[in-house]
Amino acid sequence: MASVVVFVEQEGGKPVRASLECLGAAKASGGSAVAVVAREGAKEAAATLGRFGAAKVVCLAGAPKHSPDALARDLAKVVREQKASAFLAAATAAGKDVAPRVAAELDATLLSDCTGFEAQGSGFRVVRPWLAGKALATLSSQAPVVCVTTRPNAFAISESAGSAEILEMSASTDGKAVVVSIAPKPGGKLDVKEAPVVVSGGRGLKGPEHFHLIEELAAAFGNAATGASRAVVDAGWRPHAEQVGQTGKTVAPKLYIAVGISGAIQHLAGMRTSKVIVAINKDPEAPIFSVADFGLVADLFQAAPELVLELGKA
Ligand X SMILES: Cc1cc2nc3c(=O)[nH]c(=O)nc-3n(C[C@H](O)[C@H](O)[C@H](O)COP(=O)(O)OP(=O)(O)OC[C@H]3O[C@@H](n4cnc5c(N)ncnc54)[C@H](O)[C@@H]3O)c2cc1C
CB of 27 to ligand X, least distance (A): 33
Q: How far is the CB of 13 from ligand X (least distance, A)?
A: 34
What distance in Å separates the CA atoms of residue 133 and residue 31, rounded to the nearest whole number?
28
CB 291 within 8 Å of CB 276 = no
- Residue 11 binds ligand X (CB under 6 A): no
Of residues 82 and 229, the one with the C-beta less far from ligand X: 229
Least separation in angstroms between residue 213's CB and ligand X is 10
What secondary structure, in 3-state letters, does the chain show? CCEEEEECCEECCEECHHHHHHHHHHHHCCCEEEEEEECCCHHHHHHHHHHHCEEEEEEEECCCCCCHHHHHHHHHHHHHHCCCCEEEEECCHHHHHHHHHHHHHHCCEEEEEECEEEEECCEEEEEEEEHHHCEEEEEEECCCCEEEEECCCCCCCCCCCCCCEEEEEECCCCCCCCCCCCCCCHHHCCCCCCCCEEEEECHHHCCHHHCHHHHHHHHHHCCEEEEECHHHHHCCCCCHHHEECCCCECCCCCEEEEECCCCCHHHHHHHCCCCEEEEEECCCCCHHHHCCCEEEECCHHHHHHHHHHHHHHC
Nearer to ligand X, 89 or 251 (CB): 251
CB 218 → ligand X: shortest distance, Å? 17
Q: Which one, 32 or 246, has the nearer CB to ligand X?
A: 246
Q: Which of residues 209-248 bind ligand X (CB under 6 A)?
A: 229-232, 243-248
Amino acid at 158: S
Span 248-277, contacts to ligand X by CB under 6 A: 248, 260-262, 264, 266-267, 270
Q: Do 77 and 60 meet the contact criterion of CB atoms below 8 Å apart?
A: no
Which residue number has the CB closest to ligand X? Answer: 245
Considering beta carbons, is residue 74 or 242 the nearer one to ligand X? 242
* Binding residues for ligand X restricted to 280-309, rule: CB under 6 A: 280-283, 286, 299-301
Letters for 51-90 (x = contact with ligand X by CB under 6 A, - = none) are ----------------------------------------
Q: How many residues sit in the footprint of ligand X (CB under 6 A)?
A: 28
Is 35 or 192 the residue whose CB approaches ligand X more closely?
A: 192
Tell me whether residue 75 or residue 288 sits nearer to ligand X (CB atom).
288
Cβ burial 241-258 (10 Å sphere, 16+ → b, else e): bbbbbbebbbbbbebbbb
Nearest CB to ligand X, comparing residues 28 and 297 = 297
Least CB distance to ligand X at residue 115 (A): 19
Per-residue binding letters, 176-215, with ligand X (x by CB under 6 A): --------------------------xxx-----------
Residue placing its CB nearer to ligand X in the complex, 68 or 260? 260
Least CB distance to ligand X at residue 48 (A): 35
Nearer Cβ to ligand X, position 95 or 260?
A: 260
Q: How far is the CB of 9 from ligand X (least distance, A)?
A: 24
Give the CA-trace dihedral at 241, 245, 250, 252, to 10 degrees: 110
Q: Give residues in contact with ligand X (CB under 6 A).
A: 202-204, 229-232, 243-248, 260-262, 264, 266-267, 270, 280-283, 286, 299-301
